[in-house]
Amino acid sequence: MSPTREEQHWMYRNMVTSRRFEEAIAKIYFEGKSPAFNMANGPIPGEMHLSDGQEPVAVGVCAHLTPEDVVTATHRPHHQAIAKGVDLDKMAAEIFGKKTGLSGGRGGHMHLFDDNVNFACSGIIAQGMGPAVGAALSRKMQGKPGVAVAFVGEGAVNQGGWHEAMNLAAVWNLPFICVVEDNGWGISVAKETASSIGSHADRAAAYGIPGKRIEGNDPYAIFEAAGEAIARARAGEGPSLLECETYRLAGHFMGDAEAYRPEGEKDALFEKDPIPKMRERLLAEGTASEADLDTIEEESAARVDAAIKFARESDDAAPEDALTRVFAA
Amino acid sequence: MTKSNERKLTIARAMAEATAQEMRIDPSVFVMGEDIGPLGGVYGNTRGLIEEFGAERIRDTPISETAFIGAAVGAAQDGMRPVVELMFVDFFGVCFDAIYNLMAKNIYFSGGNVKVPMVLMTSTGGGYSDGGQHSQCLYGTFAHLPGMKVVAPSNAYDAKGLMTAAMRDDSPVVYMYHKGLQGMGWLGTEAGATVHVPEEPYTLEIGKAKVVREGKDVSIVSVGMGVHNALKAAKKLEEQGVSAEVVDLVSLVPLDRDTIRASVAKTGRLIVVDEDYMSYGLSGEIIASVTEHDISVLKAAPKRVAFPDVPIPFARVMEQFCLPNPDKIVAAWDEMQAA
Ligand SMILES: Cc1ncc(C[n+]2csc(CCOP(=O)(O)OP(=O)(O)O)c2C)c(N)n1
Ligand SMILES: [Mg+2]
């Protein structure tokens, strides 16, 4: 199943929006952090994990999802949040710690929650697995439509909770898909240092479910594989595991010196940047004209500018509001 | 002006130096954890070790805390002396069984027949907007559960001595280092944490508190970052003519109740400063240690300056609103006077 023209435009638009958003965040992140870089300073403090290069995974999967489907994401969530349709104004405001943010500034960039589109993320590795499996269970028990997708990094598959959740999803035949973003690194630890096998898709065999590895950080191939897995889940045929090769073009977090990368790795990855690659393909196949793509790029940039403006101009969170919302109202 | 014989180290470097020195003389010491190899630890405390000792003794692990902390327990019981790192204390949730049901209990369950000589290093603390899963202290959580010694240095001198003592201890030691004291370039560091550290190995007795500032009107008791807040508050109080004594607990388990009691017996007033959550924790324990011993020494009800009982918020203004600081300590003194 190849993406339609509209789906391809949608994928390209979301990839570009995500990239522009992160470029904007990256620039603002350094405000107030020079000459001496101190993570605590500036309009966006704290850790910042960018997803530049990983956009194909987000759009290839989320192209098949509707707002009612559930997504859990990780400490590196922006591309998935955008592809899932999280409110960009409120997301930006949350990252700035503003009152108008998704959580009024309580969560921050690793804790984005948008109930309108059933999106959540969190900062501890493999932590989204259980909640996604639980959402899939809930849909099944309530007889409500929808599937649940847990995005994790390739480092997460070595976490005990990952295996427990996979087995639970399989033994209960739940509408669940685990999508592993294999960017080759868990901070400074290379995949081959941490994992005993090359393709984590092979681990699906341990749960008796389909597993597939998609090479090349290719939004089209990811779209196709995700389409099959999600259709299977919607049809009540149970969970699947996908591992997508992808590229982390940025450091693990902003400020990471990346000395652990082999020489030349970064340059080689930039050569394979998926966004210009998709642009070329759209043009080559005649699925989009230069004018179409220019429009998409301009609109994406405008959307991001508006979100950043909204965030900047919003009021800071009120200090004493830190004490509210601990329990449900 | 630094004296020529001064050797100022960050806590990160002091920890790495202690570990290297011990590894040179004790082949049973080895290190496991995430990003502790070529990266040298996210918080710098294993920097340089893999270059000297190689990947056999300095082991980068998968993100599998239950497995490698459990493995450390097994290796410790089998003649090794593992040092393992839980990158952020907040991550204890994925691996606490190995910590509190095995590491902490196996000496007791075996009637003392086995030893569990291991060190669990873990980073604590917030103040830099890292959100509620990367900013906690959890001192009370670890100190509450029997069977683990718990230490938390406030400066590099103590850090080195505690690290060596922890590696030589036959019982498990949880070594909680505060990110804001660590001396990482990318994170602000409290200047008072970077102090002179002798080059030769030495140990600091685990379970011994220190009076780091003498005073006669009030005892401010704290640990880690809180000690620096207490010292700054003591300076401010001095300007008001108030003489504050500051006690650095250094160890949370065993807790040096004698030093705390002696200080409060002298000053008659107690303020406890704790970056961990207020309720059911360190601050209550310190106050109980004084009051159950001799309530008559107190001239005023004790006060605590601790993190309120809410998850740690991301937004800077919210987090700073919740964190202890010198002004809050001074305000606690003022309230004590008004009462
Ligand atoms: C349980 C747990 N252990 C360790 C960490 C620290 N940590 C944060 S991100 C990360 C690497 C994750 O690698 P991967 O899952 O491949 O995701 P990526 O960062 O590559 O997107 C680690 C070790 C954590 N957040 N949670
Ligand atoms: Mg990774």
In chain A the domains, ranked by start, together with CATH numbers, are: 5-314 (3.40.50.970)
| Type of residue found at A257 | A
Residue nearest atom 19 of ligand 1, based on CA coordinates: A186
pLDDT at B3 exceeding the cut of 80: no
pTM of the shown model: 0.98
Q: Which domains does chain B have, with CATH numbers?
A: 8-196 (3.40.50.970), 210-338 (3.40.50.920)
Instruction: Return the percentage of chain B with pLDDT > 70, whole number.
Output: 99
Which residues lie at CB < 5 A from ion ligand 2? A 153-155, 183, 185-186
Q: Which residues of A touch B66 (CB under 8 A)?
A: 160
Instruction: Return the percentage of chain A with pLDDT > 70, whole number.
Output: 100
**DSSP conformation class of B97:** I
pLDDT at B4 exceeding the cut of 80: no
B121, B177 contact by CB (below 8 A): yes
pLDDT in tens, B88-109: 999 999 999 999 999 999 999 9
| b (16+ CB within 10 A) / e for A36-62 | eebbbbbbbbbbbbbbbbbbbbbbbbb
The reply to whether B226 touches chain A by the CB within 8 Å rule is: no
A273, A249 contact by CB (below 8 A): yes
pLDDT in tens, B192-211: 999 999 999 999 999 999 99
Q: What pLDDT is attached to residue B186? A: 87
CA distance B180 to A287: 53
CA dihedral B65, B66, B67, B68 (to 10 degrees): 40
- What is the CA(A152)–ligand 1 centre distance, in A? 9
pLDDT at B267 exceeding the cut of 90: yes
Which of A38, A111, A125 lies closest to B131 in CB terms? A111
pLDDT at B293 exceeding the cut of 60: yes
DSSP string, B141-198: HHHHSTT-EEE--SSHHHHHHHHHHHHH-SS-EEEEEEGGGS--TTS---GGG-EE--
pLDDT at B1 exceeding the cut of 60: no
Task: Work out which ligand 1 atom sits closest to the CA atom of A187.
Answer: 11
Residues of B assigned a catalytic role: 65, 134
Is any atom of ligand 1 closer than 6 Å to the C-beta of B265? no
Q: Which residues of A touch B64 (CB under 8 A)?
A: 158-160
pLDDT at B134 exceeding the cut of 60: yes
CA distance B211 to A9: 67
pLDDT at B2 exceeding the cut of 60: no
Closest-CA distance of chain B to residue A48, Å = 9
- What is the CA(A50)–ligand 1 centre distance, in A? 13
A148, A166 contact by CB (below 8 A): no
Q: Point out the residues of chain A with pLDDT beneath 50.
A: none
Judged by CB atoms closer than 8 Å, whether chains meet at A98 and B315 is answered as yes
Judged by CB atoms closer than 8 Å, whether chains meet at A110 and B133 is answered as yes
pLDDT in tens, B158-204: 999 999 999 999 999 999 999 999 999 888 899 999 999 999 999 99
**Predicted confidence band at B281 (pLDDT cuts at 50, 70, 90)?**
very high
CA distance A168 to A157: 15
Residue B304 CA: distances (Å) to CA of A55, A61, B273:
48, 50, 6
